C-alpha cells in the first residue's frame, strides 16, 4: 500500500477516469476535489477539442480549447510546482497528444497547438523545477480505444485510422494510465523533461 497522494485534473471521464482508477489500484490516495494533508504528484489529464477547419476557428472557440488544454497546464504546474519545490519533492505528469507533435489534422488545429504548447510547458517546468526535486514529464498518446472515439468517429473512418497505425490497433487506455503511474512514482527521479510517445508507431523520432 502506497502512502502517496496524487491530484488529477479531468478525472471525471475518459482517460482521466482510467488514470484515476489506476492510481487507486496502485495504492495511491486520489484527490479529485477532496483536500488531503499532502500531495506527491499532479497529473493533468483535462482535455477538450472540437474538429473545426483551421480557417474557420473563431476567437471564442480558440480561447475555449486553449483554456482547457494549455492554460490549465500552466497554472497547475505553477501552483503545484511551487508546492512541490517547497517540499523538496514532487512529480508532475501532463497528458499531451500526438496532435501536438504532428499537427493533429483529425482533432482541430487549435487543439494541436494547445497540446504542442503543453509539451513545451513540460520542458520549461522540468528544467526550472529539477533543482528542487521536482520532475515534469509529458505523455503523448496516439488514437486510443475510448468510448468517445467509437461514438464520435464513423466506423468506416475509424477503420481507416486503425489501418494507418503501424501496429494495426488503437492504443490501450490502461497502458497510458500505467505509464502515468510509473512517471509519478518516487523512483522516477531520473525521468525528467521528456515527452513519452505512446502512439503505435505513428510518430517516430
Q: Which tens digits make up the pLDDT trace of 25-40? A: 888 888 764 455 688 9
- pLDDT for 134: 99
Q: Which residues contact 106 (CB under 8 A, 6 or more apart)?
A: 51, 99, 161
Contact between residue 44 and residue 76 where contact means Cβ atoms under 8 Å apart = yes
CA atoms within 13 A on the CB side of 7: 20
Q: What mean pLDDT, rounded, does the chain reach? A: 90
pLDDT > 90 fraction of the chain, expressed in percent and rounded: 66
Indicate whether 85 pLDDT > 70: yes
Q: How far apart are CA 46 and CA 8, in angstroms?
A: 9
Structure confidence by residue, pLDDT tens digits, 90-124: 999 999 999 999 998 677 899 999 999 999 999 99
CATH 3.40.50.720 fits 5-144+173-198, yes or no: yes
* Three-class secondary structure of residue 134 per DSSP: strand
Instruction: Report the pLDDT averaged over residues 147-163.
Output: 84
Question: What is the grid cell recorded at 82?
Answer: 511551487
Instruction: Report the pLDDT averaged over residues 38-60.
Output: 91
Active site residues: 111
- pLDDT for 182: 97
Indicate whether 8 pLDDT > 90: no
Question: What is the grid cell recorded at 154?
Answer: 464513423
- The total of other beta-carbon atoms located within 10 Å of residue 32's CB is 14
pTM of the model: 0.87
- pLDDT for 37: 63
Amino acid at each position: 500500500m502506497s502512502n502517496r497522494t496524487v491530484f488529477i485534473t479531468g478525472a471525471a471521464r475518459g482517460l482521466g477516469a482510467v488514470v484515476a482508477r489506476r492510481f487507486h489500484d496502485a495504492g495511491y490516495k486520489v484527490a479529485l476535489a477532496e483536500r488531503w494533508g499532502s500531495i506527491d504528484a499532479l497529473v493533468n489529464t483535462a482535455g477538450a477539442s472540437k474538429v473545426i477547419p483551421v480557417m474557420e476557428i473563431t476567437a471564442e472557440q480558440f480561447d475555449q480549447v486553449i483554456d482547457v488544454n494549455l492554460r490549465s497546464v500552466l497554472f497547475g504546474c505553477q501552483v503545484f510546482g511551487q508546492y512541490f519545490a517547497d517540499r523538496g519533492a514532487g512529480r508532475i505528469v501532463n497528458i499531451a497528444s500526438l496532435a501536438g507533435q504532428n499537427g493533429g489534422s483529425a482533432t482541430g488545429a487549435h487543439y494541436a497547438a494547445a497540446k504542442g504548447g503543453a509539451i513545451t510547458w513540460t520542458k520549461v517546468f522540468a528544467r526550472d523545477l529539477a533543482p528542487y526535486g521536482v520532475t515534469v514529464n509529458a505523455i503523448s498518446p496516439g488514437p486510443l480505444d475510448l468510448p468517445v472515439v467509437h461514438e464520435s468517429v464513423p466506423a468506416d473512418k475509424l477503420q481507416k485510422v486503425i489501418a494507418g497505425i503501424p501496429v494495426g490497433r488503437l492504443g490501450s487506455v490502461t497502458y497510458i494510465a500505467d505509464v502515468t503511474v510509473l512517471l509519478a512514482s518516487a523512483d522516477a527521479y531520473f525521468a525528467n523533461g521528456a515527452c513519452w510517445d505512446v502512439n503505435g508507431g505513428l510518430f517516430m523520432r
